[in-house]
Amino acid sequence: MAVNTRIFHCDEFFRLSREEKKEFQSIIQKELEENPIKHLDTEWGRFENLSPMSEEEIDRLAEEVLSEMTLEQKVYQMSCDNDARYAPLNPPRYNFIPYYAGEDLDLNIPAVKFTDGPTGIVMSYHATAFPVSIARGSTWDTELEERVGNVIGIEGRSGGANFFAGVCINLLRHPAWGRAQETYGEDTVLLGKMGAALTKGVQKHMMACVKHYAANSMENARFKVDVEMDERTLREIYLPHFKECVDAGAAAIMSAYNRVRGEWCGHHDYLLNQILNGEWGFKGFVMSDFIWGIRDTVDAANGGQCMEMYATQFFGKRLVDAVRDGKVDEIKIDAAVKRILREKIRFSFVGDKAQYSEEKMGCKEHAELAREVSEKSTILLKNEGLLPLEKDKIKKITVVGRLAVEPNTGDLKGSSAVFPPYVITPLQGILNEAGSGIEIKYADGRIPHQAQELSKDADVVVIIAGLTSLDEGEFITNGGDVGGDRKYLGLHPEDEDLIEAVSKANKNVIVVLQGGSTIIVEPWKNLAKAILIQWYPGMEGGTALANILFGKANPSAKLPITVPATPQQLPYFDMNATSIAYDYYHGYFLADKEKYPVSYPFGFGLSYTNYSYSNPKVTKNGDTITVSVDISNTGKIAGDEVVQLYIGYKGSKVERHVKDLKGFTKIHLEPGEKKTAIIEIDKEDLAYYCPESKQWVVEDIGYVALIGASSACKDLLKADFDLK
């Protein structure tokens, strides 16, 4: 049997002493030299060159293949090919090449070839690094996100993968979550629409996997925490975005590490069998998160788990034995394997092989898209007439901050780290754009006094401050804890001191924030004339920043999160919790309920032009509710405006949020132009989940359409309607 078809349990390896591991690995090394891992000759094995098929034909072919398979061969489909013993021999870092699962040389069945994301393709050293997902969430631009997905799909296939596990849509309940950067924000509608757009883009070329199902919104405790929540909170807040991606055709769902209501997500009969497969009719397969994503052979197989990644702990031989011992019915195995085979077949005829080549990775065209996304995801939070900078009026700029010269693309040590061919830093971007007519000075800010001195006679000072992969990201404990959940929600104290010091020397201070989550700005926001949030802006972030500063691009991004004034305006969070209750309120729901005076509301973002809204209207046609508003660009330059629709409820029988986001659209307007923004929703979108009847209920009550520029009351126009 070829090396890559053996089934091995990595926990047997984990239990060995360091010396034994070394000895083992030298044997394996030799074995691999003599007997290198073999792969199929073709990309799709027995499914190569199939013509597109109907769903029924795919089903039939999957069943046919299944009927040829032994129990061992079936279980092999459900277990990763990676042998933990090889891990230290893997080149040259995590996921540098795809991880294979279920490549069966005897049956000529192709592997799932895994690459991670979501900032781009994790494989290689020359993939396009896009702005992180929270940045992309700030664009509120599903068409753009689909284009990002398309490029990710092309690069994934070019690098030899066929499976992208980077559609991360966990809800940002609390900004301390270390992996906030990997998701699109705090609202289920925004998460669902952006996740579905990425899924559609990626799936033009390869399978997309949506993660981490479900309620995975804490990092450090992810392997132990049990998340409690009532049924309405689960159904209305934490699940709808997953359903939206399932409806968009996602090939796979990754189960989360954490528990929900006492059960591990990787074994969760209610979440996997009943809701995902049963109620939502999901046809794809479930994959476990990597190592300790399941905890028990029988519970996982019976609970709806289809594939254990990325090394076999509980499936493999143990699952074969469990079937033989009658603890797992073979029907369960057949169902899981059929799901896996179906997706392999379905994706064998997706894409266009002629497009995929090494040169596509991080190519100029893709880098251009990364720049466009960064421009469209940079939020202008504050501007007291300072921006955009006019080149003929500005003679001297001082750039301050250590991040101005850092390639700060996000988590660099976790599973989402993407390694692009180059990164344009903020300072480099500003130098490139300013040209020789403007003198640029730089101070790293470690000595505030020096930064003050260099800032004194500048026309404007640009301070780049924020977070890095040492402050947040995946929690990695190797040789000391780095990343993980955030300990502070503001800037580092030294950065706050720096802003204060520099603002004493110069009144024209622009603060540019980098990071993957909300940063509390209240302590210093009055010291800055302009504030931008650039997030982790990707490989072309410096170019995008310069284009925004000098007005080559007009900001259009809006907050996908609420910026609270104080941590007290946030829900309870404990990074070490073994159990935690998530309730119906977080983000703008909580701010609305408690009437908190937040620093900046969800959905907020300025532009270099101004828009005026008028004439909100609601019309109904069958189950479709159409809300429209007229919008004019009253400024002097063209711009894009994100128009948001919230719904409020009058006299509901049950507890409701003050308002819920239900839809949004982006409108381009030339100076002086007026257009009508139209957002359609379905009657069903007004429903609440009734735990007693287990039904979604649309109440026959009064509703208020609130349409406008942000979630703040003053930015929303109202139109009452009912369902009669």
Q: Which of 415, 534, 547, 609 binds ligand BGC (CB under 6 A)?
A: 415
For residues 252 and 645, which CB has a smaller minimum distance to ligand BGC in the complex? 252
Site for ligand BGC in 191-230 (CB under 6 A): 211
Three-class DSSP category at 199: helix
CA of residue 254 relative to chain centroid, distance: 13
Report in angstroms the alpha-carbon separations of 686 from 190, 617, 618, 660: 16, 17, 14, 9
Question: Considering the complex, what minimum distance in angstroms separates the CB of residue 323 from ligand BGC?
Answer: 27
Task: Count the helix, strand and coil residues of the chain and give each as a percent rounded to the nearest 5.
Answer: 35, 20, 45
Q: Tell me the residue type at 674.
A: K
Site for ligand BGC in 95-114 (CB under 6 A): 95
**413: which residues sit within 8 A by CB, 6+ positions away?**
469, 473, 474, 476, 482, 483
Site for ligand BGC in 424-443 (CB under 6 A): none
Q: Are strands 611-621 and 624-633 parallel, antiparallel or unpaired?
A: antiparallel
Size of the site for ligand BGC (CB under 6 A): 7
For residues 203 and 415, which CB has a smaller minimum distance to ligand BGC in the complex? 415
For residues 110 and 266, which CB has a smaller minimum distance to ligand BGC in the complex? 266
Binding status of residue 165 toward ligand BGC by CB under 6 A: yes
For residues 288 and 452, which CB has a smaller minimum distance to ligand BGC in the complex? 288
Tally: H helices and E strands in the chain: 18, 27
Q: Which of 187, 289, 485, 685 is catalytic?
A: 289
Tokens encoding 565: 């004034």
Question: Considering the complex, what minimum distance in angstroms separates the CB of residue 359 from ligand BGC?
Answer: 26
For residues 80 and 190, which CB has a smaller minimum distance to ligand BGC in the complex? 80
Nearest Cα neighbor of 81 from 24, 17, 8 is 8
**Would you tell me how many other CB atoms lie within 10 Å of the CB of residue 520?**
21
Query: Is residue 289 annotated as a catalytic residue, yes or no?
Result: yes
Nearest Cα neighbor of 710 from 640, 631, 642, 629 is 642
Q: Count how many Cα atoms sit within 13 Å of the Cα of residue 638 in the half-sphere of its side chain.
A: 6
For residues 113 and 666, which CB has a smaller minimum distance to ligand BGC in the complex? 113
Question: Considering the complex, what minimum distance in angstroms separates the CB of residue 28 from ligand BGC?
Answer: 22
Site string for ligand BGC, 116-135 (x = CB under 6 A): x-------------------
**549: which residues sit within 8 A by CB, 6+ positions away?**
387, 388, 389, 430, 433, 462, 510
Question: Considering the complex, what minimum distance in angstroms separates the CB of residue 450 from ligand BGC?
Answer: 41
Site for ligand BGC in 77-96 (CB under 6 A): 95
Question: Considering the complex, what minimum distance in angstroms separates the CB of residue 708 from ligand BGC?
Answer: 36
Q: Which of 47, 130, 177, 290 binds ligand BGC (CB under 6 A)?
A: 290
Question: Considering the complex, what minimum distance in angstroms separates the CB of residue 299 from ligand BGC?
Answer: 20
Question: Considering the complex, what minimum distance in angstroms separates the CB of residue 271 from ligand BGC?
Answer: 17
Residue 135 main-chain phi, psi, to 5 deg: -65, -45
Give residue number: closest CB to ligand BGC: 415
Binding status of residue 289 toward ligand BGC by CB under 6 A: yes
For residues 165 and 606, which CB has a smaller minimum distance to ligand BGC in the complex? 165
CA distance 543 to 423: 10
Nearest Cα neighbor of 448 from 439, 460, 461, 438 is 461
Q: Tell me the residue type at 344.
A: K
**Would you tell me how many other CB atoms lie within 10 Å of the CB of residue 51?**
6
**572: which residues sit within 8 A by CB, 6+ positions away?**
580, 581
Stretch (H or E) spanning 134: helix 133-137
Binding status of residue 164 toward ligand BGC by CB under 6 A: no
Stretch (H or E) spanning 484: strand 482-484
For residues 222 and 586, which CB has a smaller minimum distance to ligand BGC in the complex? 222
For residues 256 and 498, which CB has a smaller minimum distance to ligand BGC in the complex? 256
User: 324: buried, middle or exposed (CB in 10 Å: 19+, 13-18, 0-12)?
Assistant: exposed
Is the CB of residue 643 less than 8 Å from the CB of residue 628? no
Binding status of residue 347 toward ligand BGC by CB under 6 A: no
Is the CB of residue 182 less than 8 Å from the CB of residue 212? no
For residues 116 and 640, which CB has a smaller minimum distance to ligand BGC in the complex? 116
Question: Considering the complex, what minimum distance in angstroms separates the CB of residue 316 from ligand BGC?
Answer: 19
CA distance 298 to 312: 14
Question: Considering the complex, what minimum distance in angstroms separates the CB of residue 473 from ligand BGC?
Answer: 11
CA distance 333 to 632: 58
Site string for ligand BGC, 359-398 (x = CB under 6 A): ----------------------------------------
Question: Considering the complex, what minimum distance in angstroms separates the CB of residue 255 from ligand BGC?
Answer: 11
Tokens encoding 470: 């040492």
Residues that bind ligand BGC in the complex, under the rule CB under 6 A? 95, 116, 165, 211, 289-290, 415
Catalytically active residues, by annotation = 289
